[in-house]
A and B are shown apart, each in its own frame.
Chain A
Amino acid sequence: MAYVVPFSHVLVLAAILFLLGAVCALARRNLIMILIGVEVMLSAAGLVFIGAAMRWQQLDGQAFVIFIMAVAASEVAIGLALILYSRRRTGTINADRYNLMKG
């Protein structure tokens, strides 16, 4: 029987990864960095899915991960395009400069 990584380890790793992503998304003002942070968080979630799939021996989790990867890929594509466009319109990619939503 092959050595199985315990589920709790997977969860801890995913949590660390998620936190790193969250901190990145929160702390940085650069839109690209925020996008990367979000991607990292998504990967963390994917990791949990995979771990869970292993733990319960169900393929559903892995299927989800494929979906998440597809969504994340398209998100990056669209997100980068938007960021590029915003950069061209406003000349900056500093998130706090975009304050049109101010109430």
Chain B
Amino acid sequence: MTVILFILLLFPLAGGVINAVIGRLLPRRVSEVIACLGVVGAFVMAAIAFGLGGWKSLHLIFFDWIKVGTFSAAFDVYYDPLAAVMILMVTFVSSLIHIYSVAFMREDTDYVRYFCYLNLFVFSMLVIALADSLLFVYLGWEGVGFCSYALIGFWYTNLDYALAGRKAFILTRIGDVTFGIALALFFYFFHSFSLQYINAHATTLSVTMATVFGLLLLWAAMGKSAQLPLTVWLPDAMAGPTPVSALIHAATMVTAGAYLLMRLFPVIHLSHMAMLVIAGTGAITTLYASFAALAQVDIKKVLAYSTISQVGYMILGVGAGDFVGGFFHLLSHSFFKSLLFLGAGCIIQACDEEHNIFKMGNLRRLLPHVYYPFLIGCLSLAAFPMIGGFLSKDRVLEATFIHPAPIYKAFWAIAFLAALLTVVYTFRMFFTAFLDRPDGRTADEIKPIPRLMTVILWPLAILAFCDGLLNLPFGPISNGLAKFLAAVPGARVDLGAPAAVSWGLGLGDAALVLVVLTLTYFVFRRPRPDFWGSLNETLFTAFYLDWLYLNLIARPYERFAAVLWRDVDERGINAGFENTAGGFKVLSSLMGLWTNGKLSTYLLMLLLGLTAMLTVLILSWHW
């Protein structure tokens, strides 16, 4: 098992390193094959590992990393059902995205760099998913941050794109600060970084400490998972190539934050306070992002805000004490979101790099191969009854609703409202882009796209459509995923809600979704860019959050840096030293006047000196 998991990690790493080191010397096809092999190989390994012991919990050590005194961190993994499913999903979705990328990047000459980052990205995510030592997790965590930085800014000649990458890195790094603090604190309490050890001994923590841990980890998760208040980087992250967006949103990075909270569930679970804040963050972010998504015109930005919103559900699931539901949503989200992004990639290339949905239209006729998978993705995102997205979201909502603390009812209401808004923004985008309309695109405004790109959509579409089977709320294979995850500490197989509540919520949810969907159809079957009227600006800028950060934090920071340099360092400290030196220089030049270069002066001085010495000698002589 150790070998299998080691090879699993080695595959994408080796792919990335090979491409980085000698990729430029290889023919294009070879380099692409290496990259794809790196991920597909990892998927095969993940499947083998799953077959051999996906249900076990294993702590496997590869080798030592840092060891000083009692401080020790190793390269080791903790393979449990949660991780097993996670790596299956990550490697599977990433494999498809890699293959898709081969077609998507067909005209880009910088493919080596692209595939190198892509492989490393998957590697880092697998590390997060598997690692036992939190320090090793941190390696993956930062690795993901770096790769996203490099990939978002992949088209570096465009300054805005490069800036978007930088923004992502800095914001996630701000989130990481508390991860680092949590690391130090874990070491302080447990003298160990081992996730498994910490989880096993979590009960020794006081409630206060558990709260502290919960909040620290939440902040870290906020950075990676783009939750409020650290949301602003994700919409900008659209600057990268579309498959990268798919990777960031579906398989890697964004889910990492939620996943971390699930991995450390036994710790945060101890504190009601922390759980409450986590749930609140999730619920409010969900609603916030749904509002923002309502007014976007860029197809990728709609999807970006939808990701923020959907990740909010995962976090809410964790906060409601049911991380199984959160994880279920993570899985179904990864399928439909990668599907949607890859579909959007097809659309954008077919429409000649057009992102604006109001300049699309007629795509149902023009791109039928994209239309159907994309529809499935939209249905899943909008939680159309009995599709995976519906069941997972329903489970999260139910868990929130039945939580004993009354405030959770409010969270439930918020999240439920957001779920309905999801239907609106999803189908606003869908109808606007796909339905027939007279001012829409014509056939000669569509560029041909490789078959491969549309073929790849299908496996994802099937999964997005059927993944509800993983965890049906009823029937012979009910709660399959939950049962599989039962061995993970803190997992609840069944929510234990009374049947009436459970059915009532589910049916009510389904019915309302259908109603809202119908309404949306009638409102948005014709493009209505200015539907929100005066609210449009607020929604479009996501409540001016980005603007606030820019003007309240980023700009003053930069400006103060200049002040610090020019005024404090140069004119203050440095000038102080230089002036002291200058003073001595003036003094010495005054002395220099004396040495006028005239021999006669020197001789005179010589004699005067002699006379002076003699005089002193004579005067002090004891006669």
Contacts and interface: CB of A to CB of B under 8 A. Distances in A.
A100 B595 CA distance: 10
A57 interface: no
A102 B600 CA distance: 13
B600 A95 contact: yes
Contacts of A100: 597
A5 B591 CA distance: 49
Nearest to A27: B600
B599 interface: yes
A100 B602 CA distance: 13
Contacts of A34: 599, 603
A85 interface: no
A82 to B, nearest CB: 13
Contacts of B559: none
A96 B591 CA distance: 20
B592 interface: yes
A26 B604 contact: yes
B607 interface: yes
A96 B599 contact: yes
A103 interface: yes
Interface residues of B, number: 14
A34 B599 CA distance: 10
A20 interface: no
Nearest to B591: A103
A47 B312 CA distance: 111
Nearest to B593: A103
Contact of A102 (B591, B596, B603): B596
B594 interface: yes
Given A22-B607, A26-B604, A26-B607, A98 B599 contact: yes
A55 interface: no
A95 B598 contact: yes
Nearest to B604: A26
Nearest to A31: B599
A100 B600 CA distance: 14
A99 B607 CA distance: 20
B603 A25 contact: yes
A42 to B, nearest CB: 14
B584 to A, nearest CB: 15
Interface in A49-103: 95-96, 98-103
Nearest to A99: B597
A26 B605 CA distance: 10
A102 B595 contact: yes
A101 B597 contact: yes
B589 to A, nearest CB: 8
B599 A95 contact: yes
Interface string A1-29: 00000000000000000000010011001
Contact of B594 (A22, A25, A103): A103
Contact of B600 (A29, A101, A103): A29
Given A26-B603, A99-B597, 20 more contacts: A25-B603, A26-B600, A26-B604, A26-B607, A29-B600, A34-B599, A34-B603, A95-B599, A95-B600, A96-B598, A96-B599, A98-B597, A99-B596, A100-B597, A101-B595, A102-B595, A102-B596, A103-B591, A103-B596, A103-B597
Interface of A: 22, 25-26, 29, 34, 95-96, 98-103
Top 10 A-B pairs, shortest CB-CB distance:
A102-B597, A99-B597, A103-B595, A103-B592, A95-B599, A96-B598, A101-B597, A26-B604, A26-B603, A25-B603
8 contacts: A26-B607, A34-B603, A96-B598, A96-B600, A99-B597, A100-B597, A101-B597, A103-B595
